[in-house]
Amino acid sequence: MWSAVLAFENAQYPLVDRRTEIGRWAQRAVINIAINEQIAARAQVLTQAGLGPLDAAHLTCAEAAACDCLLTCDDVMVRRAQRVALPLHVSNPMTYIEEQTDD
């Protein structure tokens, strides 16, 4: 999944080689989520619930794409997302791998 939010954040990345490589992920994505009124409204709800604006936008795009899971290295985002009712699991990649191998 790719989104307008990922594109925005990637454009801000200071290292050109990494920005270029991450930009290639957009070409591999099967789903590309654009921001619309519904996504903006849901992101606002999540922001009011304590998530940062970009974190809320990422979560809302993942919801719109019907993702089962959103992985992030942002531990603050993980903790804040766990306080909100979401239709997807938010986790650190390492924690997610540990959870999957425990099954």
3-57 per-position pLDDT tens digit: 999 999 999 999 999 999 999 999 999 999 999 999 999 999 999 999 999 999 9
pLDDT, residue 28, reads: 93
Q: Does the structure show a pLDDT above 70 at 103?
A: no
Q: Which domain holds residue 41?
A: 2-102
Residue 82 in contact with residue 90, Cβ under 8 Å?
Answer: yes
Residue 97 parent element (H or E): helix 93-102
CATH, residue 29: 3.40.50.1010
The structural domain count of the chain equals 1
pLDDT, mean over the chain = 95
Q: Does the structure show a pLDDT above 80 at 102?
A: no
What number is the average pLDDT over the span 58-81? 96
